[in-house]
Amino acid sequence: MAHYPHPIIAREGWPFLGGSIALALLVSYAACWPWAIPFWLIALFVLQFFRDPAREVPGDAKSVLSPADGRIVAIQPVRDPWLDRDALKISVFMNVFNVHSNRSPVDGEVKQRWYSRGKFINADLDKASIENERNALHMRTADGQDITCVQVAGLIARRILCYVEAGAQLVRGQRYGFIRFGSRVDLYLPTTVRVKVTIGDKVRATSTILAELQ
């Protein structure tokens, strides 16, 4: 997949932004200005939700970058349900005010992709990782380390978008998907990684190094 150029506003948001601005203009024209204020506020919210800023890529090939903007809600040893192995899970929760563009945490090849239907409970809860709708990518780095990156739908999010399939080559920070309106991303990493963040930290996709591969 070619790098998607960052036009400030994510392509997924163009229909929503265009519709909200058209509605606000219609109300402004058909009614007095105060009636249109709520509709312009909605258009402003849509504008900020679908922003898609370019980011500098820090670190090196050993650096595991955050795949999403948000807050760290889990760092724990678990059993990776996709690869059936012991792993360290780091979870990033995105609220409606975060950038929702998802980006590759490592340089590597997509070995497999899984999609699972599920519920839409609050993505801030840990059980969302196994009960909610989700899309998982198994990625393998050049030195043979396996990473599982899972997009998880949330209470409001009802649309997971993923633009890569098995065989795709991704580089750190490359845009590969989008989740609309609040959600989370889970990373299942080798147990040997050195973690660089703590619970509660606010992180930014691409810009924040979550861990270092050993």
Assign residue 168 the CATH number of its domain: 2.70.70
150 and 76 both lie in a single domain:
yes
Q: Does residue 163 lie in a domain region? A: yes
Q: Does residue 129 lie in a domain region? A: yes
Report the pLDDT value the prediction gives residue 1, as an integer from 0 to 100. 43
pLDDT digits (tens, 9 = 90+) for 93-120: 988 888 888 999 999 999 999 998 866 5
Q: Residue 32 sits in which domain range?
A: 8-52
80 and 25 both lie in a single domain:
no
131 and 39 both lie in a single domain:
no
- Chain mean pLDDT for the chain: 88
Of 39-48, 110-119, 120-129, 190-199, the one with minimum mean pLDDT is 120-129
111 and 177 both lie in a single domain:
yes
158 and 190 both lie in a single domain:
yes
189 and 134 both lie in a single domain:
yes
Report the pLDDT value the prediction gives residue 126, as an integer from 0 to 100. 64
Report the pLDDT value the prediction gives residue 136, as an integer from 0 to 100. 96
Report the pLDDT value the prediction gives residue 205, as an integer from 0 to 100. 94
Active site residues: 183
Q: Which amino acid is at 98?
A: N
39 and 67 both lie in a single domain:
no
d(CA 214, CA 194): 7
133 and 42 both lie in a single domain:
no
Report the pLDDT value the prediction gives residue 132, as an integer from 0 to 100. 74
State how many domains the chain has.
2
Contacts (Cβ under 8 Å, ≥6 apart) of 35: 27
Q: Does residue 94 lie in a domain region? A: yes
Q: Does residue 2 lie in a domain region? A: no
Q: Does residue 3 lie in a domain region? A: no
75 and 48 both lie in a single domain:
no
Average pLDDT over residues 62-90: 97
d(CA 2, CA 65): 19
Q: Does residue 57 lie in a domain region? A: no
pLDDT digits (tens, 9 = 90+) for 128-179: 566 678 899 999 999 999 999 999 986 655 578 899 999 999 999 999 998 8
d(CA 85, CA 183): 25
Q: Are 26 and 73 in contact (CB under 8 A)?
A: no
pTM for the model: 0.85
97 and 191 both lie in a single domain:
yes
109 and 199 both lie in a single domain:
yes
Q: Which amino acid is at 6?
A: H
125 and 198 both lie in a single domain:
yes
Q: Does residue 201 lie in a domain region? A: yes
Q: Does residue 17 lie in a domain region? A: yes
